[in-house]
Amino acid sequence: MNSSNTGFNEKEPPHKLLRDTIQNDMSFVEFQ
């Protein structure tokens, strides 16, 4: 998971990484 995540960070543009991070945080809050 970590190895693929590093490649993902290198490939994806910053704005998409930020958007995915925000979505993950919101999903995490909803899960809690």
Higher pLDDT, 1 or 30: 30
pTM above 0.75, yes or no: no
Q: What tokens does 24 get?
A: 């993950």
- List % helix, strand, coil for the chain (3-state, nearest 5): 90, 0, 10
pLDDT at 1 over 50: no
Q: Could you read off the pLDDT of 4-32 as tens digits, one per residue?
A: 555 555 666 767 767 777 777 777 666 65
Q: Could you give the maximum distance between any two Cα atoms of the chain, in Å?
A: 30
Separation of alpha carbons 21 and 15, rounded Å: 10
